[in-house]
Amino acid sequence: MKHFTSVNDVNDLNKWVSEALKIKSDPLGFVDIGGQKTMGLVFLNPSLRTRMSTQKAAMNLGMNTMVINMDKEGWRLEMNDDVIMDGYTVEHIKEAAAVLGQYCDILGLRCFPNLKDKQEDYSEDILNKFIKYCGVPVVSLESATRHPLQSFADLITIKEHATKSKPKVVLTWAPHVKPLPQAVSNSFSEWMVKAQELNMVDFVITHPEGYELAEEFTKGAKITHNQNEALKDADFVYVKNWSSYSNYGEILTDGKGWMMDNEKLKLTDNAKVMHCLPVRRGLELGNDILDGKNSLVIHEAANRVYAAQTVLKKLIEGNKL
């Protein structure tokens, strides 16, 4: 059974991007492929873009959609095996996932990390158990370590707006008041490293000391603690905060001097600026950029539909649903 949880589930990155852009040019061109199948979206954490864009994508393919916010509407789930459930959990993931699989042809799952236990988070226990027990194809709507639909949309956006055959793409850390997961940054790095191997981009990561991401996501990227050096001649700048991986889940600096604004933009080659959203204005990213002509944040969000639509089409075809 085929699932979509990372770039490793993509057999040809160039072809997937091309197909997404083709779908974007005619969103209802494959409206019959869904055949009234049901897409279930299961959220253990909040969502705006992921929920709406994936619903829209499924509808564009002729699918029905059902959504459940398990953190608010479902029973409290037990994730551990071989336990006596005499505490606050009400339903085991074995039954919950299996039942959802009975109602849906494809399931999407969002499950954030707790940022307290690195080993637990990076084992992707919740996502893997969901896949194991539900019995249908699963799409990651962001897990503890990755956000593949976002990264796919990011690559589509870069391809659309690139003026060079191999643009320089920079991932820069940004300040934040809360410790955030590494999932978006891990995933973006993983997709850009793969794109770099295919000569689609030149990829650089910049962040303060202590914010190194896990090597499995960044191997092959140039990494520097000098933001100004990284920004030089950049064509795209991807702005994102993440908490420390080595000092797991911690904030190590107030980030003074790291916020991207129009002054820093002068170091680039008139770069387009990207962010997955939601963004804290004036903290992660300057208002001058967000309200200016170099911002691609709304374009990125729009492309979430076509990234999801491509993935769902591939899963329907690949699993012969």
pLDDT for 320:
83
Confirm or deny that 240 is annotated as ligand binding: yes
Query: What value does the mean pLDDT take over residues 301-311?
Result: 98
Contact 102, 38 (CB under 8 A): no
Contact 39, 64 (CB under 8 A): yes
Confirm or deny that 49 is annotated as ligand binding: yes
Query: What value does the mean pLDDT take over residues 58-79?
Result: 94
Residue-by-residue DSSP string for 220-277: TSEEES-HHHHHTT-SEEEEE----TTTTT------TT--B-HHHHTTSSS-EEE--S
Confirm or deny that 47 is annotated as ligand binding: yes
Of 307, 250, 301, nearest to 60 by C-alpha is: 307
Confirm or deny that 50 is annotated as ligand binding: yes
Contact 137, 3 (CB under 8 A): yes
Confirm or deny that 272 is annotated as ligand binding: no
Confirm or deny that 280 is annotated as ligand binding: yes
Confirm or deny that 142 is annotated as ligand binding: yes
pLDDT in tens, 85-98: 999 999 999 999 99
What pTM was estimated for this model as a whole? 0.97
pLDDT in tens, 257-278: 999 999 999 999 999 999 999 9
- Domains in the chain, CATH or no CATH each: 7-146+304-318 (3.40.50.1370), 150-300 (3.40.50.1370)
Q: Which residues pair with 40 in a beta bridge?
A: 66, 107
pLDDT for 143:
98
pLDDT in tens, 216-248: 999 999 999 999 999 999 999 999 999 999 999
Confirm or deny that 76 is annotated as ligand binding: no
Q: Is the pLDDT of residue 1 over 90?
A: no
Confirm or deny that 119 is annotated as ligand binding: no
Confirm or deny that 315 is annotated as ligand binding: no
Confirm or deny that 110 is annotated as ligand binding: yes
d(CA 247, CA 286): 28
